[in-house]
Structure 1
Amino acid sequence: MPKPPHNWGRWGSDDQQGALNHLTPAAVLAALGAAREGRVHSLAMPIRGATSGPAPTTVPHLAGRPLPQHFMSIDGGDYAAGVRAAGARIADDALVLSPHGTTTHMDALCHMWAGEELYNGHPAARVRSYGATRLGIEHAAARGVLARGVLLDAAAHRGVTHLRATDRIGANELAAICARDGTDPGPGDVVVIRTGWPRVWTEDPAIYGSGQPGLAADAGRWLAERDVVMVAMDNAAIQGLGADGRSSEDADDDLHLTLLWRSGIHLAEMLWLDGLAEALAEVRRSDFLFIAVPLPIEGGTGSPINPLAVL
């Protein structure tokens, strides 16, 4: 049984949507009010196929993770000629990818656990090579995430373009950012936290791979206490990573276990937040309408997403 506090049983013993249950019709309608100007910003990084372009040198990703494979299943050149009808031709794509560590993505509640139980006490034995028959990403896809988003810009708060690999963002810092911006994340909100770390890739991929900044353990508990539905960041793992690509926390303090496993709070990682941060700074706001819908991959531990911020 996980260390309390947690959300196991809060929405019934069969629940597979976790904190997304906060997104009631009333909450969704209220979130629409966070869109005031109609300006839309995509928060996704591009998906570039490693076999057809310079993706290994142009798109941030974790070392050792397989990059997306994108190629044409039908075209007019190195593959079979496209179907011709009255002189017209077509092209078609094939895409193979592992979302974790290589794309902007959303974690399913079956992505990480401890012991023999998934979130809400579902048996971990239901996660196998053919997919997860409990808590797969299709349960999040069934309703999507349409909520008020709140940007907490840790890099701007510290007066830097990006944090250092060894930096950790604690609960007190998150509270200080909220006090500065006059915001208070609460039930049904998506908290979006900017470290600026993707900028490092353009400077030196080796430094990007030397570790990553992220949340400290008490920040995860602080967010869970506020009943947010999702935590989204521009780093690769929400928590910080060491040079070995691992986090240093034990099971009691691991951010994925605190948020995904204990609290049913979905995670979104590897977002591009610089444009959003600039736009919000211009209008002196921190909130917006956040929209993200994962693919309905049955039994998937995660899915690529194209998150949208509507100002």
Structure 2
Amino acid sequence: MVAEPNNWGRFGPDDQRGTLNLLTPEVVLGALASATSGRVLSLAMPIRGATSSPAPTTVPHLRGRPLPQHFMSVDGGDYAAGARPVGAGLRVADDALIVTHHGTTTHMDALCHMWSGDELYNGHPAARVRSYGATRCGIEQVGGVVARGVLFDVPRHLGLDHLPAGHRISPDELAGPALRPGDVAVIRTGWPAVWQRSREEYWSGQPGLSADAGRWLAERDVCAVAADNAAIGGLNAGQLADEALEDDLHLILLHRHGIHLIEMLWLEELSASGRDEFVFVAAPLLIEGGTGSPINPLAIL
């Protein structure tokens, strides 16, 4: 059992969903009131092309990570062997396979994604995580997320286009509507926009939440934390976190509090809308035992 304040046992000894349990029917119905115009924005990065083309490299990603791979077949050719019968004059293009990796596309982390010692969130044995999948706390436990989203537009609050690479967001900088249990906290750093200017600058580090800000969000019972950076917390030039284990954001949020993480969002249109409260919708793929899944999060304004 972890010593720091946590949610282990709070939702029962067998719980694998963490603070998503706070999304009761009443909370979901209350969240729907956050939509006032009906405008829908996608908060996802695109997945472009196959690795045989330069297209995937044009989307922000961490250096050295496998790029998203999108394979297609046309009339059964190019990727899949053989062709399936089609009517006269008809041609068929199929998505044969999509492979993604943490750090290269918009995704949601499962509670089995990171841990310390021999136990996952809630004391589930870490030995249950194997190359064939995790039999505890996999991404399939999420189902769907429909919640009130609250945008913390930190650079706009500070009068900046984006935060500097070394900036670590403090609780005092999380200015926005008061959080309610079951909310999704959406953090904008503005860092993905740096990619348009310089890939080397993008890879020089990344701003993100401080450990104190992560604990502050956990204390307010958010059901998920979403951000436009690659790791929720900040990264150094080696694309690693500098914090000690007790202050690692993934361990604080995923491992100790059962708060799912959503990374690599595109938040520029949401920021431009001026809205800091909206309906947040996301559903990961039902990958049994998956440590995460690509998603297309939506903001309904």
TM more than 0.5: yes
Mapping of 1:51-66 within 5 angstroms?
51-66=51-66
Q: Which of these residues, 110, 113, 119, is aligned with residue 112 of structure 2? A: 110
Give matches, 1:207-222, under 5 Å: 207-222=201-216
How far off its partner does 1:72 sit?
A: 1.6
Alignment of 1:202-241 (within 5 A): 202-241=196-235
Q: How many residues align?
A: 299
User: Which residue pairs with 1:160 in the alignment?
Assistant: 160
Q: Given the superposition, is the C-alpha separation of residues 164 and 50 from structure 1 closer, same or farther in structure 2, using an over 3 Å criterion? A: farther
Runs of 5+ consecutive residues of structure 2 not aligned to the other structure: none
Q: Which residue of 1 aligns with 2:237?
A: 243
Deviations 1:193-249 (A, max 9, x none): 100000011101111111100001100000000000000000000000001111011
Report the more deviating stretch, 78-87 or 2-11. 78-87
Report what 1:84 is aligned to.
Answer: 86
TM-score for both structures, normalised by structure 2:
0.96
Give the stretch that moved more between structures: 124-133 or 81-90. Answer: 81-90
What's the offset of the Cα at 1:82?
6.0
Q: What residue in structure 2 maps to residue 171 of structure 1?
A: 171
**What does the per-residue CA deviation read over 1:40-74, in whole Å, with 9 as the maximum and x for residues that have no partner?**
00000101134254334410001111011212234
Secondary structure of the equivalent of 1:193? strand
Q: How does 1:29-68 map to 2 (within 5 A)?
A: 29-68=29-68
Q: How much does 1:188 deviate? A: 0.5
> What TM-score do the two structures reach when normalised by structure 1?
0.93
Give the 5 Å matches for 1:1-311. Answer: 1-75=1-75, 78=78, 83-141=85-143, 144-174=144-174, 177-178=175-176, 183-279=177-273, 281=274, 285-311=275-301
Instruction: Provide the C-alpha distance between the structure 2 equivalents of 1:211 and 1:83, rounded to a whole number of angstroms.
Output: 51
SS at match of 1:252: helix
Instruction: Give percent identity, aligned residues only.
Output: 68
Tell me the CA shift for residue 2 of structure 1: 1.5
* Runs of 4+ off more than 4 Å: 76-82
CA distance in 1, matches of 2:2, 2:56: 39
SS in 2 for 1:27: helix
SS at match of 1:172: helix
In the alignment, is the contact (CA less than 8 A) between 1:49 and 1:67 conserved in 2? no
Q: Is the 8 Å Cα contact of residues 68 and 104 (structure 2) preserved in structure 1?
A: yes
How far did 1:173 drift? 1.4
Which range moves more in the overlay, 68-77 or 108-117?
68-77
CA distance in structure 2 between the partners assigned to 1:76 and 1:10 by the alignment: 51
> Mind listing any 5+ residue stretches in structure 1 that lack a counterpart?
none
RMSD: 1.4
Could you tell me how far 1:4 is from its partner in structure 2? 2.3
State the shift of 1:81 in Å.
5.5
Does the aligned pair in 2 maintain the 1:3–1:252 contact within 8 Å?
no
1:128 & 1:245 partners in 2: Cα distance?
Answer: 25
Mean CA deviation greater in 24-33 or 87-96: 87-96
